[in-house]
Amino acid sequence: MSLPLMTGARRRVRRLALAGVGVTLVTSACSAPGPGTTTSSVPSGNVSTALPTEKTTVALYLESNFAGQMTPLTEAFTRKYPNITFSVKSDEFANLLQNAQKVMASPEAPDIVRYPQVAAAAKNGLLTNLDPYAKAYGWDTWPSTLLDQMTVNTKGVRGSGPLYGLGIGYGSTGVYYNKTLAKRIGMTQPPKTIDEFESLMAKAKKQGIQPIMQSGKDAGLAFPYQALQNQFGNTDELKKWLYNEPGATFDLPSSLKAAEVLRKWARAEYLPSDVNAIDYPTMMGRFAKGEGLFMFNGDWEASNLQKNTKGNTGFFLVPGTSASAPHYAMAAPSSFVIPKNAKHADVAAFFLNWVHTAPEARRLVVETTGSSPGGPSGLALPKAGSELQRQTLAGAQEVASENGAVDFVANATAGILAGALSPGLQELATGRMSPRDFVDSVQEAYESELGR
Amino acid sequence: MSRRSGTVSGSRRRDRSLSAGARRRRREWTGWLYLAPAMVFYGLFVLQPLGRSVQYSLYDWNGIGVARFVGMDNYIKIFDEPDRLTTLVHAFELMLFYTVLSVVLALAAATLTRRLSSGAAHAARTVLFLPQVVPLVGAAIAWSWLYSSDGVINETLRGVGLGQLARPWLGDFDTALPAVGFVGTWVMLGFCMLLLSTGMAKIDPALYDAARVDGAGPVAEFFAVTLPGVRRELTVCVTLTMIAALASFDVVYVMTSGGPGRATAVPGVEIYQLAFTQAKVGAASAMGVVLMVLVLAVILPIQRLMRER
């Protein structure tokens, strides 16, 4: 029964096998993997803003959790332009991240792809340069704070260069609170400073109420962490880091201070004792059940929470260090790109333009995503359905008007969340890593991933 | 006449010897012909990807763009970055659960069921073997529920007055790796037990009689007869469970994705994250090659050690 690994009679076969490996190595070593060069995406200039008259099917590749949100939009579009129909493929978010670049590289690439890592795909030459469309449709006159996140220059740095994506829903974040628990601790209005916020949590803790419900298992701690980081200044430097500018560093006073405050909160048991075992669905369930006064999250959950807590949830923007400080919030478009290999790029661009400008589409975006529809600043914001949605939308607008939108730190590089932020915050929250070491470890992982 | 006949018989003899050689050669050819389809598939789907992995490991490549030759850099980084090295240490810690614990328990279970009536033994074996039939991903999800803060394990502890032991098993830095490892024990136990039971069934009963005549008790009997009797099965158990421990992925990925912190990071999860979240195909391939060498380095001495002398 011993494994036939080294029996003498098979030596010849083994030698043959080794020769086989050798041959394979030699033959495959002749050429490097991948293409010889990446072709940079030069805009052709000939773009059409007219829809074709023949029957056309636009292929979409979406995130499965949010594929349903797209249906009302595509249906409304087909009602208006009956010769344009849509075919949808979707993947769970993590799978989408893994597969999207390969899917876009194939000759059968879809026409519109939900893809958050715009810089990586643009650098690999996989995306259509949208500048000609931006000029033709006037996207270049829209407020730039959110579109900036989807511009990428030739070095793969975001924040400048051609536009490569548009958002369907421009999400923003803040703090949800449980109205019943807030009343019990005497919170009559949202806190105006971080100090006030902290004293509310102390009150809650004293009364046996869980101050914060957050998911540490799948990187949910990045929400309160960056919420603090944004308020402590250095947001311009942080944006440089987020956009991968050469020489940018995470080692900022604000990064360190946020880590210190988060650790203080963990020590004071403002975070759940089993925070590292809580995943996102568990967090949502426990908060909705009344476990937790506050939860750091985004406007995409507004309609969910309104329904599941029967109107018992309120929302406020993360307060600053002083009552007069401008508001900063993590905010990012749910970005959609047009692959370079797309067969119907013109139709895709027409559709994205329609989503941003047609009143019906804007209403549907607000209804289904809960987020701002973006688009020209002159257009009126559609009326949101629920009270909670009105609060989150008003918050997002306030942030936009104060120029306080900052992309998620998790979007800095593809691997930073799983590789450094998530494990680091888990160790920080349990006192296993010092704030200094946390900041250093994030920067180290960032440099290693970007090959700096 | 005689000369002629001599020539004839000589040439006939030469004919015969020639045809025998040709036949042997043809037989060999036929052998290779039978082997050919398997060899082609083996080359195409085992050797070729293996060669490719070795080749990729020498490049800095994101899977899509231009690849840059970097020589041994990816390998140096594995031993240079403490995080990647830790994953290898964790893999060896998992061996305690996958190999040591499950083989010891399997030996005990197989010895005990051998003495049971055939019906009871059959039932016991079925129960213990069941985890092998359950897809690992499903089992991992079920175990996550058992381990959760208000899961069965913690509720039971609280119910019997051991509430102070209750904890979020997978979210606690000290218990996460053992908790994941124990699922490995649970899976491998049935497989080892079945293999060892089969081995024990073919031990000559006369040996047990002889041992008893010599005055051996159950313990002495176990060490003198049973253990040497299942030596080969034991080798297979140890080998396969060690490979499972070193190459573990699904259970860890589903239950903790390597967390909390890096408490349960193992090479399999690290390779996956390098290749698919960080798009570092070269670094992932290098890690894969190191893992393969490591598996061979652990397995080959065991094969040698446990081979019959």
pLDDT of residue B15: 52
Mean of the pLDDT values across residues A389-393? Answer: 90
Same domain? B7 vs B117: no
pLDDT of residue B303: 85
Q: Residue A247 gets which letter from DSSP? A: T
Distance (Å, whole) CA A380 – CA A359: 9
CA distances from A212 to A28, A175, A287 (A): 55, 10, 9
Q: End-to-end CA distance of chain B, in Å?
A: 62
- Write the CATH number for B238: 1.10.3720.10
B residues 175..204 contacting A (CB < 8 A): 199
| Residue B11 lies inside a defined structural domain of this protein | yes
Q: Report CB contact under 8 Å: B171, A35.
A: no
Distance (Å, whole) CA B290 – CA B288: 5
Q: Where in chain A are the domains?
A: 56-170+332-389, 172-331+406-450
Of A261-265, A417-421, B197-201, B224-228, which has the strongest mean pLDDT?
Answer: A261-265
pLDDT classification of A341: cutoffs 50, 70, 90: very high
Distance (Å, whole) CA A45 – CA A132: 6
Distance (Å, whole) CA A415 – CA A420: 8
* Concatenated DSSP letters of B257-284: TT-STTTT--HHHHHHIIIIIS--HHHH
CA distances from B299 to A10, A30, B303 (A): 18, 33, 6
Nearest to A61 by CA among A332, A368, A341: A341
Same domain? B21 vs B116: no
Token pair in block for residue B182: 């124990």
Mean of the pLDDT values across residues A367-391? Answer: 84
With CA atoms as reference, the chain B residue closest to A123 would be: B65
Same domain? B270 vs B126: yes
Number of domains in chain B: 2
Q: Report CB contact under 8 Å: A33, B280.
A: no
Token pair in block for residue B249: 């992925």
Range of the domain at B30: 2-56
Over pLDDT 90: what percentage of chain B?
Answer: 53
pLDDT classification of A338: cutoffs 50, 70, 90: very high
| Residue B201 lies inside a defined structural domain of this protein | yes
pLDDT at A48 over 60: yes
* Residues contacting residue A443 through CB under 8 Å, at least 6 positions apart: A249, A250, A251
Q: Say which residue the tokens 């508001």 belong to.
A: A327
Token pair in block for residue B247: 């190459």
Q: What is the pLDDT of residues A272-322, one digit of tens each?
A: 988 998 888 889 999 999 999 999 999 989 888 998 999 999 999 999 999
pLDDT of residue B108: 92
Q: How far is A267 from chain B (nearest CA, A)?
A: 16
B146 contacts chain A (CB < 8 A):
no
| Residue B50 lies inside a defined structural domain of this protein | yes
Query: In this structure, how many other beta carbons lie within 10 angstroms of the beta carbon of residue B131?
Result: 17
pLDDT of residue A361: 93
Q: Which of A20, A276, A419 sits opposite B47 (nearest CB)?
A: A20
Q: What is the pLDDT of residues A109-130, one digit of tens each?
A: 999 999 988 988 998 899 999 9
Nearest to A122 by CA among A213, A43, A189: A43
Residues of B within 8 A of A276 (CB-CB) are 168, 171-172, 259-260
Same domain? B200 vs B165: yes
pLDDT classification of B6: cutoffs 50, 70, 90: very low
ipTM given for this complex: 0.77
Residues of A within 8 A of B163 (CB-CB) are none
Q: Report CB contact under 8 Å: A32, B69.
A: yes
CB B168 within 8 A of CB B149: yes
Distance (Å, whole) CA A445 – CA A250: 11
* Concatenated DSSP letters of A136-200: HHTGGGS-HHHHGGGEE-TTS-EEEEEE-EEEEEEEEEEEEEEHHHHHHTT--S--SBHHHHHHH
Same domain? B223 vs B128: yes
B243 contacts chain A (CB < 8 A):
no
pLDDT of residue A12: 52
Over pLDDT 90: what percentage of chain A?
Answer: 60
Q: A1-39: b or e for each residue (b if 16 or more CB lie within 10 Å)? A: ebeeeeeeeeeeeeeebeebbeebbeebeeebbbeeeee
Whole-number CA gyration radius for chain B: 28
Token pair in block for residue B200: 């024990």
Mean pLDDT of chain A: 88
| Residue B20 lies inside a defined structural domain of this protein | yes
Encode A133-148 in three state secondary structure.
Answer: HHHHHCHHHCCHHHHH
Same domain? B142 vs B248: yes
CATH code, A172-331+406-450 = 3.40.190.10
Token pair in block for residue A44: 């052709």
CB B183 within 8 A of CB B95: no
* Residues contacting residue A376 through CB under 8 Å, at least 6 positions apart: A138, A141, A142, A356, A357
Nearest to B193 by CA among B126, B277, B133: B126
Fold: same for A56-170+332-389 and A172-331+406-450: yes
Residues of B within 8 A of A94 (CB-CB) are 277
Q: How far is B232 from chain A (nearest CA, A)?
A: 5
CB A170 within 8 A of CB A146: yes
The angle that helices B281-306 and B73-80 make with each other, rounded to 10 degrees, is 70
CB A303 within 8 A of CB A391: no
Give the dihedral sign, CA B147/B148/B149/B151: negative
| Residue B145 lies inside a defined structural domain of this protein | yes
Same domain? B52 vs B167: no
B292 contacts chain A (CB < 8 A):
no
CA distances from B293 to A149, A232, A337 (A): 44, 49, 42
pLDDT of residue A355: 95
| Residue B63 lies inside a defined structural domain of this protein | no
Distance (Å, whole) CA B115 – CA B121: 8
Same domain? B179 vs B264: yes
pLDDT of residue A45: 59
Same domain? B106 vs B50: no
Same domain? B140 vs B254: yes
Same domain? B48 vs B140: no
Token pair in block for residue A134: 């931006």
Residues of B within 8 A of A14 (CB-CB) are none
Distance (Å, whole) CA B235 – CA A387: 67
Residues of A within 8 A of B168 (CB-CB) are 273-274, 276-277
Q: Report CB contact under 8 Å: A3, B64.
A: no
A176 strand-pairing partners: A295, A315
Phi then psi for residue A167, to 5 deg, are -100, 145
Distance (Å, whole) CA A382 – CA B33: 74
Same domain? B167 vs B284: yes
A86 strand-pairing partners: A58
pLDDT of residue A37: 60
Mean of the pLDDT values across residues A207-224? Answer: 93
Residues of B within 8 A of A422 (CB-CB) are 259
| Residue B284 lies inside a defined structural domain of this protein | yes
With CA atoms as reference, the chain B residue closest to A450 would be: B278
Domain A56-170+332-389 -> CATH class? alpha beta
